[in-house]
Structure 1
Amino acid sequence: MVRLLPLLLLAPLLGCTRLFFQPDRWLHHAPQVLKVRFEPVRFASADGTMLSGYWFPSTGTALGTVVHFHGNGQNVTSHYTLSYWLAAEGFNVFAFDYRGYGDSEGVPGMKGAVQDGAAALRWASEKPGVDAAKLAVFGQSLGAALGLAAIQESGLPVRAVVLEGSFLTYRSIGRAVLRKNVITWPFQWLPYLVVTGRRTPAEMVRRLPPCRLLFVHGEDDEIVPLSEGQRLFALAPEPKSFLRTPGGHLDAFSTYRSMYGAKLTAFLKEAMLP
């Protein structure tokens, strides 16, 4: 947490990139180890930046397609484990990396990441055999914010949106982080000066096309306070539901998947009904 202070002070020079994007190029979990079907994917963002990801085809006839927007750290090889299992439940899953992450080209940044998310949605919707009318977005932490913005950017309809560990605005989560530490507490006003106030989850969630919404949040989330997700939920249009789970940040479908995986599957299946 202490390391966040110098980043905030430098944010005007860094374009806030280091605050929200912390990628690496390591291979964390090779999908071959899972012994499930998958395809490595290369696709282009709107500006030609080449991106990478994994396609996990549905076991049997697909009920729909889930595009997974992962969180801000590491890369897709440390995040796809939170979504690939949906393939066994009847859904295609496309997990991808934003620019600057993993094998994706480019330098990370907010505008580019939103373009990348829109490109991922278009790629999934245009893949042969995919029913473009049955798309779902699964966004986690920063990926929840990017997923909401990418839906607007792409202009594509989606049936369902799942937001786990989501926050209200980039400024509010910056302030929440600073308030947790006695050393950084006096600087909690800084995000309102140096962090972008544009294309926030609070703005994007109110502009969603008609779809079903599921919010998931750990009651002991140490990264994004539960109150952040609750405040965003209050702004979201109906139909919506809020799943409060035990544990910390993004634990629902990792530590507690045996308890909550079925709830996510049931939500997605219902959303895909005519």
Structure 2
Amino acid sequence: MVSYVSALLYGMGGIVMAGMALLVAFQEKLVYVPVLPGLTKSYPITPARLRLIYEDVWLRSSDGIRLHAWFIKFFPDCRGPTILFFQENAGNIAHRLEMVRIMIQRLHCNVFMLSYRGYGASDGYPSQQGIINDAQAALDHLSQRTDIDTSRIVVFGRSLGGAVGAVLTKNNPDKVSALILENTFTSILDMAGVLLPFLKWFIGGSSSKGPKLLNFLVRSPWSTIDVVGEIKQPILFLSGLQDEMVPPPHMQMLYAKAAARNNQCKFVEFPTGMHMDTWLSGGDHYWRTIQQFLDQHVSEKKETESSSNYTGFEGR
């Protein structure tokens, strides 16, 4: 019996040590994937290929990192909403251009696409604080432009981009008018147990069970669930129920946390939506959902409605 218990303890110790080694060595490669397997870091296409009106924008993050972005307009003098788009963790902004092309056509908006540090033509190496700085640089740039309506800036984040967008929205209640989250995780701590199931007993977010012995090793925790509860602006949650990367309950938990304090939240499910294709499989319903959200919360009358205590609440 004693030998059995000893073996069990040694086995658990081995799992913990193996988990620690994996986290220390490979966590950035799991969280940030600037280059897709078999492809190069450079952009495969530019907006010009899709005949989009755009400009190359070069920024400096607060720590001096040089960043690249594309600012794409519906038409040269478009004063509609401007969507600050934050992508998923893998590949670069060029891989999202087809979706953005349809977004511009359907929503009659401008789109600002930022390459995180280490992605695309941007310098540096990705990290949580670094990307938060990058997102702030992009928003500051948009807020200073004179060719857009700066009162109608909307943050749109998918997956990792949702975590980035949530932090930016919370930190800038006076610059961001609304937030859209799609297929976003509660935290990287919770995703560790999804990607490496044997770690779920030793690592996890605030809502998980277990001793969480390895949490201190995670350099990019991205705890979105702790952030959304502090956001005051309207939030639209778009959840693909066939998401093969981020379990759909993560989006349900994010909505529940936000809606407990914010009555301007809306949750919409797409039964056939997967992690990367919810915008495609959702079809007309997907784009109408976003358009209705923008019409309600980011219309040209937003300032007047705010002054008359308009809440704009729409339930799930």
Aligned to 1:167: 185
Say if 2:57 is the partner of 1:34.
Answer: no
Asked whether the equivalents of residues 41 and 52 of structure 1 are also in contact (C-alpha less than 8 Å), the reply is: yes
Listed as ranges, the gaps of 5+ residues in structure 2 are 1-17, 36-40, 204-211, 303-316
Q: Give the secondary-structure state (helix, strand or coil) at the position aligned to 1:83.
A: helix
Shift of 1:117: 0.8
Q: Give the secondary-structure state (helix, strand or coil) at the position aligned to 1:23.
A: coil
Going from structure 1 to structure 2, the CA distance change for 1:84 and 1:211 (only over 3 Å counts) comes to farther
* 1:38 maps to amino acid: Y
* 2:265 maps to amino acid: K
1:206 to 205, 229, 249: 229
TM-score (norm 2): 0.76
The whole-number CA distance in structure 1 between the counterparts of 2:145 and 2:84 is 12
Residues 210-221 of structure 1: pairs in structure 2 closer than 5 A: 210-221=232-243
The whole-number CA distance in structure 1 between the counterparts of 2:289 and 2:20 is 38
The whole-number CA distance in structure 2 between the counterparts of 1:119 and 1:7 is 35
The whole-number CA distance in structure 2 between the counterparts of 1:7 and 1:127 is 47
Shift of 1:188: 2.6
Shift of 1:258: 3.5
Going from structure 1 to structure 2, the CA distance change for 1:62 and 1:252 (only over 3 Å counts) comes to farther
TM-score (norm 1): 0.87
- Identical-pair percentage: 26
Aligned to 2:73: 57
The whole-number CA distance in structure 2 between the counterparts of 1:8 and 1:54 is 38
Asked whether the equivalents of residues 68 and 96 of structure 1 are also in contact (C-alpha less than 8 Å), the reply is: yes
Shift of 1:156: 4.2
Query: How many residues are paired up?
Result: 262
The whole-number CA distance in structure 2 between the counterparts of 1:228 and 1:90 is 30
Residues 72-151 of structure 1: pairs in structure 2 closer than 5 A: 72-88=89-105, 89-151=107-169
Q: Give the secondary-structure state (helix, strand or coil) at the position aligned to 2:279.
A: coil
Aligned to 1:182: none
Going from structure 1 to structure 2, the CA distance change for 1:189 and 1:18 (only over 3 Å counts) comes to farther
- Larger CA Rg, structure 1 vs 2: 2
Shift of 1:20: 0.8
Say if 2:256 is the partner of 1:240.
Answer: no
* 1:234 maps to amino acid: A
Going from structure 1 to structure 2, the CA distance change for 1:162 and 1:73 (only over 3 Å counts) comes to same
Instruction: Say which structure, 1 or 2, has more relative contact order (CA 8 Å, 6+ apart).
Output: 1
The whole-number CA distance in structure 2 between the counterparts of 1:7 and 1:31 is 42
Asked whether the equivalents of residues 26 and 74 of structure 1 are also in contact (C-alpha less than 8 Å), the reply is: no
